[in-house]
Amino acid sequence: MKNITFLTLCLFSSILLIAQWKPQGDKIKTEWVENIDVNNVLSEYPRPIMERPMWKNLNGLWDYSIAPYASIEPKKYDGKILVPFPIESSLSGVMEQVGDKKEVWYRTEFNIDSGWNGKNILLHFGAVDWKTDVWVNDVKVGTHTGGYTPFSFNITPFLKSRSQKLSVRVWDPTSNGKQPRGKQVNNPEGIWYTPVTGIWQTVWIEAVEDKYIENLKIIPDIDYNSVKIKANVNNGNYGDVIEVSVLNGTEMISNVKAAITTNLEIKLQTPKLWSPESPFLYDIKVSLISNGKTVDEVKSYFAMRKISKKRDENGIVRMQLNNKDYFQFGPLDQGWWPDGLYTAPTDEALKYDIIKTKELGFNTIRKHVKVEPARWYTHCDRLGILVWQDMPNGDLDNGWQRTEYFKGSELARTSESEKIFREEWKDIMDYLYSYPSIVVWVPFNEAWGQFKTVEITEWTKNYDSSRLVNSASGGNHFQTGDILDLHNYPAPELYLYDANRVTVLGEYGGIGLPIQGHLWKPDNNWGYIKFKNSKETTDEYVKYAEILKKMVNAGFSAAIYTQTTDVEGEVNGFMTYDRKVDKLDIDKVSKINKEVINTLNN
């Protein structure tokens, strides 16, 4: 009888929670909305490149309130919000715009598992946009600024014996601020999209010992059949040891130990190389040993791959993958969702766009002025896709000049604006350093906030010499970095060429096809050129690809087509914004895309 009563109470509680939330608004939505369980939201382990067994997901229905800027915690909250969906999104259950004169308060309660007694408890946020203050049991434990990278606090000293109260305050000025914000603006229109404020990635806790591995830096070297692994250790002491076991499936192929003060180097016999055609990953187990005892252990992985450039027999500087000329071809991927905005409704949805990109015959994605959750990059690593990672733009446009060298001006940023950019760009690179799919860093796009281009490019290259740097995608062009990046809409055009750098077509296409019933803005949508049906749109795409094939031999070493999906008012995607309709003939697109790639790769 007691069991029946308990189950009845659990069922009643679940029904009550569901009744407190539903998607808001009448905009189009993806099919994954139907799979959302408010008691189990984005439940997958959020950091698969460094995984521990003792963790707990805090996503779900929290209290929320929209309050005046710089307020104290409200005594009464406005209602419930589904974390981690941003408050402006349908899936948050709120769908209200906040603005820079207000801020969002969140509140929830959680328990610490009894098996975690005596351990340190880390509170993790995947990403929160933009300035975040955090309280645990009414004690402020820290502040973080930055909208795209994970951060954490050790909350152990502030815990109570029973349930724990977590309060979060977030302020985001969106386009009224100097911070990186990507395509977010207060008044979305055209290529500019709805603001994203507050928590937009998973919130979770994790149990560790006093000494634990904070992060891993993994650097493969296929020329010497080796990989270097640096583990940053919290509270480490001289004499502590890192042990790494390398696995090929269940078979251990190497076991190496080193002091935490050194880089651990592993030699591999005839290593398997990673590529989009064969995305092989080595699994590893990394252990922290102190006084002969294992005090921490994480699961991770790495890939043996190399990205570089080299002049070919015709004098053209080419991108190379694993020391072979390799044409990189893929879509511009904004990473937006009609129901979750920055946040995919499920992990299956997050993975879907990458799978579709592979089906289209591409080998590359340009992640455009947005940074994704860690699981997205792991999906790219496992599925086999190369990634160009943009810095989300911020501040002001300083005048775009794309067709000549040295004609564009640079933005005179304030010292505060410069500081924000430098700190957040470094944080993004630190966060993503060990993901093998990332092969190109893109600090600036089309003159948005572009400043001190040569200095920023050289810093980026020095900070990570293992990848190429595309310093200014689309203009204002300087002879710095590894790549000259041209943008041209709608058809491909090779209107500049650099004999000493890789020349790429960083954006082109934008062929529009509005599909009734699948439009975010039924009466206000656009593409760079628009057609009325799938056949016309596919034919135009194939025509551009045939032009591009000729330009590969003339000098292009990569190309990025706009874009993966429709986004808000833009209707130039391979798919509709709700991902329910493939707008072009997938087989024809895949065939011609592979022909473009093989123009060079064969």
pLDDT tens per residue, range 112-164: 998 999 999 999 999 999 999 999 999 999 999 999 999 999 999 999 988 99
Q: What is the pLDDT of residue 533?
A: 97
| Statement: residue 12 has pLDDT above 60 | no
State phi, psi for 547 to the nearest 5 degrees.
-65, -45
User: Smallest Cα–Cα separation from 341: which of 193, 476, 538?
Assistant: 193
Q: Are 326 and 317 in contact (CB under 8 A)?
A: no
Rounded distance, CA 242 to CA 286, Å?
7
Buried b (16+ CB within 10 A) or exposed e, 302-337: bbbbbbbeeeeeeebbbbbbeeebbbbbbbbbbbbb
Confidence of residue 19 (pLDDT cuts 50, 70, 90): low
Three-state SS at 286: strand
Confidence of residue 4 (pLDDT cuts 50, 70, 90): low
CATH number of 212-302, picked from 1.10.260.40, 2.60.40.10, 3.40.50.300, 3.30.1360.70: 2.60.40.10
Q: How many CA atoms lie within 13 A of 450 on its CB side?
A: 27
Mean pLDDT of 276-291: 97
**Which positions ≥6 away from 250 have C-beta within 8 Å?**
none
- Determine what percent of the chain is predicted with pLDDT higher than 90: 90
| Statement: residue 317 has pLDDT above 70 | yes
Q: What is the pLDDT of residue 279?
A: 98
| Statement: residue 349 has pLDDT above 70 | yes
Range 327-601 has CATH code 3.90.960.10: no
| Statement: residue 15 has pLDDT above 80 | no
Q: What is the pLDDT of residue 18?
A: 55
- Chain mean pLDDT for the chain: 94
* Pairing outcome for strands 364-367 and 79-83: unpaired
- The residue type at 248: N
DSSP annotation of 115: G
Q: Are 492 and 503 in contact (CB under 8 A)?
A: no
Q: What is the pLDDT of residue 493?
A: 97
CATH class of 21-208: mainly beta
Rounded distance, CA 66 to CA 495, Å?
50
| Statement: residue 1 has pLDDT above 80 | no
State phi, psi for 143 to the nearest 5 degrees.
-130, 145
Beta bridge partners of 512: 530
**Other Cβ atoms closer than 10 A to 52:** 17
Mean pLDDT of 340-364: 98
pLDDT, one tens digit per residue, over 372-388 is 999 999 999 999 999 99
User: Smallest Cα–Cα separation from 119: which of 208, 212, 236, 213?
Assistant: 208
Q: What is the pLDDT of residue 401?
A: 86
Instruction: Give a three-class secondary structure readout of 50-64.
Output: CECCCEEECCEEEEE
Q: What is the pLDDT of residue 157?
A: 97
Confidence of residue 3 (pLDDT cuts 50, 70, 90): low
Q: What is the pLDDT of residue 219?
A: 96
pLDDT, one tens digit per residue, over 564-573 is 999 999 999 9
Q: What is the pLDDT of residue 8?
A: 45
| Statement: residue 188 has pLDDT above 60 | yes
Q: What is the pLDDT of residue 398?
A: 80
Give ranges for CATH 2.60.40.10 in the chain. 212-302
Cα diameter, the chain: 82
Q: How many CA atoms lie within 13 A of 328 on its CB side?
A: 33
Which residue did the predictor score with more confidence, 409 or 11? 409
Give ranges for CATH 2.60.120.260 in the chain. 21-208
Q: What is the pLDDT of residue 472?
A: 94
Q: What is the pLDDT of residue 6?
A: 43
Mean pLDDT of 484-505: 97
| Statement: residue 555 has pLDDT above 60 | yes
**Which positions ≥6 away from 287 have C-beta within 8 Å?**
242, 243, 244, 245, 294, 296, 297
